[in-house]
Each structure stands twice: as C-alpha cells, then as structure tokens.
Amino acid sequence: MSKTITVIKGDGIGPEIMDATLQVLDATGAGFEYEFVDAGLAALEKTGELLPPETLETIAKNGICLKGPLTTPVGKGFSSINVALRRHFDLYANLRPAITFPGTKSRYDNVDVITVRENTEGAYMGEGSMINDDRTYAEAKIIVTRKGSERIARFAFETARKANRKKVTAVHKANIMKNVSGLFLEVCEEVAKDYPEIEFDSLIVDNTCMQLVMNPERFDMIVTTNLFGDIISDLCAGLVGGLGMAPGANIGKDKAIFEAVHGSAPDIAGKKIANPTALILAAALMLEHLGLGEKATAIREAIRGVLADKDRLTPDLGGNSHTGDFAQAIVERLT
C-alpha cells in the first residue's frame, strides 16, 4: 500500500516550490499519495485560523508532513506556527544537514556537516520570562532536562550510525553555564559510551563557530541545545551558499515534518523564479526517514548534475530559468 504524506503548500513561494518538489518526488517512483491541507496565511484566509484542527488531525493520522514556508502575520495569535507545530507534536529533534553543492556561492567546496538541534527546551521555553514595567530588567528561564538531553543525544548517535557518520561533537558552554550546559554535556558523554564505533568529542560554542568558519572539515555531526543549534545551523547554511540550499527536518517519536529552512519570500512570490532546491532536499530527507535512502541519493545526484550543467538554473543560482524548468531538469535526470 502506498504511503500518504500530508502536504502543506505554504504561503508566498510555497505553492511554486512545492509543485516543483512533488514533481521530483513522483519522478523517483516512490508512489506516494498526498493529502493537501493548509496552515499559515492560506489557512487564515479560508478558515479564520492559522493552524486549523483539521491540519493537525491529518498530520497526526499520516505521521509524515512535507511543509512549504508559512507566513506568520504580525500581531496575530502565537509568534510562530512552526514553533507551535513542533510543540504540538513534540518534534524534539531538528536535523539540519549542510552539504556543498557545485556551482553555488560558497566559501568551501567540501562542507558536509549535520547539525542536530534539541527543539523543545533550552532557552526557547517562553514560560516564566518577564520584563519589568519600566523596561529596565528582563529575565528568561533556560531549562535542560536529563530526559531531553538523552533523547537528543541518542537521536544524534542513531542518525550517525544509520548515515555511516564517523564523529559526533557535542557543542556546549559548560565552562560558564555549569548547570544547564553542564548537564547536557554530561548526558552526551554518557550516551556516547553506548556507541563505541563513533568518535565523540565536545567543543565550547564560541570556539565551534570559529572552527566552523576556518576549518569546517573538522566536523561531521554536531549535537547541541536549542539556541546554539539555531545559530550554528544557520552558520553552516552560510558555509554552503545560504538558505536556498538548506533543508530541515523536525522529528519526534512517531511524527515528522520536513521543510525548507527559508521563509515564504513574499518579494518574489508569483514570479516563478524561486529556487526549489531546499524543499527538494527536505523531501530527500523525508525519503531517508522512510527508509528510501537510495531515492534520496538519486535526488541529490540529480541536483548536482543540474547545478553542474548550469543551463536551467533559477536567478539566485546565476541562471534565468523558471522554478518549473529547474525542477524539470532534475526530473529528466531521474527518469
């Protein structure tokens, strides 16, 4: 029986890059069925809600969602629909690979780093934060738990094992934040003992940033807490040509949402010039998650080929082709 995927086309360039991505997914022969639902601005216009219950129910039923970028209207409800989705489904692991592709504007030609970011605790809790009336004092809570640290550390090592990765680096600030960051590091060190075939080391976050910029081949997989992971994964995206090439996955116990890291790009929406690569790479992560790694590899190889050919690239990649032509070039290499 074919697998049904929940698809949220998203706002702005979302529908354009999603159509291109589904065309590529279909060309792999994966044979998925798609159930289309809305969130964000599109949902607000149709139903009056940014995240309608039907959308949540469909994701809960199918377990897997491919999501285009969403516009969160300023001043309406919660601050981010993406954060709300992660919380609702307890998607505790944010997986962000940064891999160099040929022909993209990047500083290095050999970057291949996966960042695993804890997605549910750390400095992102919101609860308990305050600012006083005269705005002279603010405070926020950082929460790190043994349970949260252990499940993200295990996720990182299990992912490393499956992907044949050689090393996991725990990134922390335990020298200063002795309790919160210290607990995270302590748990990572304990979990590492269960994976003797994978090299483990740890590095302070400021040094990590410098090393990533000067010496990125030192890294294979990084595991870290929420805020550090947010910053480091964007730094890594910058090392491989920016957000246009950056996919992300939010993974929980039995639900997962795959997305491009960039936003809905309202400045180019409807012009058919958006680069769909990040969402196509997110679809490749989804295939890997579903045990279809060979199809994911085929997609990445096809993207490499199209980038090397240089004849049907979108404007951000230096070409003058439309989103659909770029996707068609990938499809032709897959079929």
Contact range with ligand NAD by CB under 6 A, out of 131-139, 212-220, 263-271, 284-292: 263-271
72 to 101: interface string for ligand NAD, x by CB under 6 A: x---------x-------------------
Among the listed residues 30, 84, 243, 290, the single contact to ligand NAD using CB under 6 A: 243
Contact range with ligand NAD by CB under 6 A, out of 63-71, 150-158, 210-218, 233-241: 63-71
Residue closer to ligand NAD (CB basis): 148 or 248: 248
**Residue 49, Cβ density class (10 Å: 0-12 exposed, 13-18 middle, ≥19 buried):** middle
Asked if 267 interacts with ligand NAD (CB under 6 A), we say yes
Residue closer to ligand NAD (CB basis): 148 or 247: 247
Supply the minimum distance, in Å, between the C-beta of residue 279 and ligand NAD. 8
What tokens appear for 24 in the block? 């590529």
Q: Give alpha helix (H) positions in the chain.
A: 14-27, 41-47, 53-62, 81-88, 146-162, 180-192, 205-214, 226-239, 277-289, 293-309, 323-334
Say whether 61 is catalytic. no
271 to 300: interface string for ligand NAD, x by CB under 6 A: ---xx--x----------------------
Contact range with ligand NAD by CB under 6 A, out of 44-52, 70-78, 165-173, 207-215: 70-78
Distance between CA atoms of residues 274 and 244, nearest Å: 9
Say whether 230 is catalytic. yes
Among the listed residues 263, 293, 305, 324, the single contact to ligand NAD using CB under 6 A: 263
**C-beta nearest to ligand NAD: residue:** 263
Distance between CA atoms of residues 187 and 189, nearest Å: 5
Backbone angles phi and psi of 97, in degrees to 5: -75, 145
Contact range with ligand NAD by CB under 6 A, out of 67-75, 100-108, 165-173, 174-182: 67-75
Asked if 316 interacts with ligand NAD (CB under 6 A), we say yes
Residue closer to ligand NAD (CB basis): 182 or 263: 263
Asked if 233 interacts with ligand NAD (CB under 6 A), we say no
Tell me the longest C-alpha to C-alpha distance in the chain.
Answer: 64
Say whether 105 is catalytic. no
Say whether 206 is catalytic. yes
Supply the minimum distance, in Å, between the C-beta of residue 159 and ligand NAD. 21
Dihedral of the CA atoms 300, 302, 307, 308 (nearest 10)? 110
- Out of 230, 255, 295, 316, which one is annotated catalytic? 230
Distance between CA atoms of residues 151 and 7, nearest Å: 27
Cβ(142)–Cβ(177) under 8 Å?
A: yes
Query: Nearest Cα to 30, choosing from 302, 299, 232?
Result: 299
Distance between CA atoms of residues 34 and 22, nearest Å: 9
Query: Nearest Cα to 156, choosing from 234, 235, 90, 97?
Result: 97
Say whether 234 is catalytic. yes
CA 162 to chain centre: 18
* Helix axes 323-334 and 14-27, enclosed angle (nearest 10): 10
Binding interface with ligand NAD (CB under 6 A): 13, 17, 69-72, 82, 243-244, 259, 262-268, 274-275, 278, 316
**Residues recognised as catalytic:** 124, 173, 206, 230, 234
